[in-house]
Amino acid sequence: MKKNAQFMFVIFLLLFSGCDLFEYHPYDGRIKGERNINYKNILRIEEACRDKDTIRFLFMGDTQRCYDETVDFVTAANRRTDIDFIIHGGDVADFGLTKEFLWTCDILEKLYAPYVVLLGNHDCLANGEEIFRQIFGDENFAFQAGDVKFVCLNTNALEYDYSRPIPDFHFMEEQYRDSTAHRRTIFVMHVRPYSEQFNNNVAYVFQEFIKRFPQLMFCLNAHDHRLSVDDLFEDGVMYYGTPNIEKRQYLTFTLTPNSYDYEVVDF
């Protein structure tokens, strides 16, 4: 019995020594691995799409607490050779735990195509936004693919109790002024106007402002966990909402010089 017990103790210690298994706290913010992912991938996207007249990208989102489905999405996306990049519409984490970000990153980094990730409302929970900022980058960012500018915005106003300008019109104004290089514009956000998260006091103003951008094509959103295709303001600007990854669906957009097309894909 004594020998057995001693033996068991040694075995247990050996099993767990040498692995980085020490957990300090679910919200400890200890990040291993890549940082500034959006920035690095934007360089890849802009470089690869520079002289392209047809651009194809995937739009998905709300991968929170759905690692199995996210793995399957990566496998499905990697089977395609016709895509230029992927946009994740936000909600990487469900509880804002540091490990949720790391687990999802481990899965997404296996994507062959470059990808960018938006800030979702669940990513703001606890100190999630601080983690998001380190791993992916700024909450508002923009990039250009061919002649199309993608303006990606944090629209999760409710998370900040309206204490921060969300959506950030200052950032949008900067993007507006910097409108020389692109011919067309697409807005991407986690939460679309008139959602409970959006700052609906400025929903109409927001819409009027984004329409001033060069040839606004359409808007993309996640958050609602269902497919939606709506002319939200009845002004001809379409809002496409992606199903959450749990539904095993994503959207494919193909931008041609004078038009675009979309498709709902099951995987």
* Residues that bind other proteins in the complex, under the rule CB under 8 A: 1-2, 5-6, 8-9, 12-13, 16, 19, 21-31, 65-68, 71, 94-97, 99-100, 103, 107, 122, 125-127, 130-131, 134, 158, 161, 196
Closest CB to other proteins among 131 and 186?
131
Element at 252 (helix H, strand E): strand 249-256
How far apart, in whole angstroms, are the C-alpha atoms of residue 122 and residue 199? Answer: 17
Amino acid at 131: I
State in angstroms the smallest separation of the CB of 65 from other proteins.
Answer: 6
> Between residues 9 and 112, which has the closer beta carbon with respect to other proteins?
9
Residue closer to other proteins, measured from CB, 36 or 254: 36
What pairs with residue 239 in β-bridges? 219, 230
Q: How far is CA 255 from CA 49, 105, 147, 148, 213, in A?
A: 12, 27, 10, 9, 17
Between CA 77 and CA 79 the distance in angstroms is: 5
CB of 238 to other proteins, least distance (A): 27
Closest distance between other proteins and the C-beta of residue 130, in Å? 4
Q: Which is nearer to other proteins, 63 or 144 (CB)?
A: 63
Angle of helix 128-135 relative to helix 98-108, nearest 10 degrees, comes to: 30
Beta carbon of residue 170, minimum distance to other proteins (angstroms, whole number): 22
Residues 57 and 145 sit within 8 Å (Cβ to Cβ): yes
Of the pair 2, 79, the CB lying nearest other proteins is at 2
Residue 217 CA to residue 261 CA, distance in Å, equals 11
Of 5 and 181, CB closest to other proteins: 5
As measured in angstroms, the least distance from the Cβ of 258 to other proteins is 42
Least distance (Å) between residue 23 CB and other proteins: 3
Please give the backbone phi and psi of residue 255, each rounded to the nearest 5 degrees, phi first: -100, 120
